[in-house]
Amino acid sequence: MNSFIEVDYSQKWKSTERIPGDIFLLSRDKTEGRIVCTLSDGLGSGVKANVLANLTASMGQKFTTSKMDIIKSAQIIMKTLPICKERKISYSTFTIVDINSNGKAGIIEYDNPGFILVRDNKIVQTDFTVIPLENRFPGRKEKLKHTELELKSEDRLIFFSDGVSQSGMGTAAFPLGWRRPDIENFILQQISQKRNISASELSKKIVGRALLNDIQKAKDDITCAAIYVRKPRKLLLLSGPPIDPDNDIHLVNNFVKFQGHKVICGGTTAQIISKGIDENIITNLKERDVDIPPSSEMEGADLVTEGILTLSKTADMLENKESWSTMKPNAVKKLITLFMNSDEVHFIIGTKINEAHQDPSIPVEIGLRRTIVNRIKKILEEKYLKKTTLEYL
């Protein structure tokens, strides 16, 4: 399957609590392209719920990623988890989703609201098998729901805790909570309004709406996860002139041919491309920042920035997930935004050393392009789960 599978979730905690009682965990195996995620809802809310949900989700993740059969892992979780004798209910409910690189998905659900599959802008009902569980409570039959699916390009899978489906319960507008058909309609509406809405945005919209149903004070933990199978969004980043000027033409060709967003980080590199495609570079002199040179614009490129200083700052900011979101729009923020909106990043790094940077009279240390780019590449892969490739010219 030549698609990228985007997974994200959004969450609001019960308004009286400081930690969530719902837990979402995600792991991606880069070599196999396998994705496992678990949403677990601990009984009640607060610390106890958090610990139980965490325990459940971690077990789900561990067993499933360790190649254990998804049904088997669910059964072990059920055996291990403590139960509430008085209320005759389990301490946590869960959904585990396991997707391989061909889009084959296995889903196990225990007492969470059922997942929603959207295909071709319609809700698709799926068949499932029921796996009965050992009797833990007399007079109450417990079961797991197991679904197998072949995910297709543009499919979306949405699942959530009951904080979503019970939102607004008891209010005049939603006496029985946010009912499933209404949630489904809401999702279809979001997709029809924005055809390629990301998993991240869709999950935020759903949680936002559930919170609104609760009149902005969550009555329970509200968590929604979304999976979106889509064409990978690609980004090309060029930085540095080639060591052999004869290769300038390769750089230009690569730039022109590339399908996706294009960024140039480096003044000389930008000039090579500008000459090659015969377009002007216009610097945004209104962008003022003491340590980040202004970005520029050029027809054909999505962004042009200075090289080393901008890249170093970008690496620092990427390491610190929160701080860049509050930055004013400068070259670094623009570059990070492009990274975040991409699934695959291809770096082409020219290795010619700029001798001016080696001048001892320069007051700041200017690092090596290669080192900085490798640092960014690593952070993008490990922290942001992006696919990256790199070539030197």
With 0-12 / 13-18 / 19 or more C-beta atoms within 10 angstroms meaning exposed / middle / buried, residue 40 is: buried
User: Closest CB to other proteins among 104 and 357?
Assistant: 357
Measured from the CB atom, the residue of 219 and 334 that comes closer to other proteins is 334
Closest CA relative to residue 163, chosen from 29, 9, 41, 2 = 41
CB of 286 to other proteins, least distance (A): 8
169/173 Cα distance (integer angstroms): 8
Minimum CB–partner distance for residue 372 and other proteins (Å): 12
Q: Which is nearer to other proteins, 301 or 336 (CB)?
A: 301
Residue with Cβ nearer other proteins (45 or 274):
274
Torsion angles phi and psi, residue 80, rounded to 5: -80, -35
What is the enclosing helix (H) or strand (E) of 374?
A: helix 369-382
Q: Name the residue nearer to other proteins (CB basis): 230 or 357.
A: 357
* Closer by beta carbon to other proteins, 55 or else 308: 308
Distance of alpha carbon 225 from alpha carbon 69, whole angstroms = 22
Least CB distance from residue 367 to other proteins, whole Å? 11
CB of 391 to other proteins, least distance (A): 22
Question: At closest approach, how far in Å is the CB of 170 from other proteins?
Answer: 58
The residues of the shown chain that bind other proteins, judged by CB under 8 A, are: 266-268, 270-271, 274-275, 278, 280-285, 288-291, 293-294, 296, 304, 306-309, 354-357, 359, 362-364, 366
The token duo for 94 is: 């869960």
The answer to whether 39 and 57 are in contact (CB under 8 A) is: yes
Q: Which is nearer to other proteins, 52 or 264 (CB)?
A: 264
What does the alpha-carbon distance between residue 51 and residue 43 come to, in Å, rounded to a whole number? Answer: 10
Shortest distance, position 267 Cβ to other proteins, whole Å: 3
Which one, 259 or 358, has the nearer CB to other proteins? Answer: 358
Tokens of 382: 């490990």
Whichever of 119 and 370 has its CB closer to other proteins, that residue is: 370
Q: Shortest distance, CB of residue 122 to other proteins, whole angstroms?
A: 50
Task: Provide the pairing of β-strand 261-265 with 303-305.
Answer: parallel
Contact yes or no for 34/101 (Cβ under 8 A): yes
Least distance from other proteins to the Cβ atom of residue 232, Å: 30
DSSP label of 115: P
Query: What SS3 state is found at 222?
Result: strand
Element (H, E) at 296: strand 296-297
Query: CB count, 10 Å around CB of 71?
Result: 15
Q: Enter the tokens of residue 333.
A: 């923020």
Give CA–CA dist 199/225, Å, rounded: 8
Report in angstroms how near the CB of residue 116 gets to other proteins at its nearest.
Answer: 49
Q: Write out the two tokens for 158.
A: 């949405």
- Max CA separation in the chain (angstroms): 83
Amino acid occupying residue 233: R
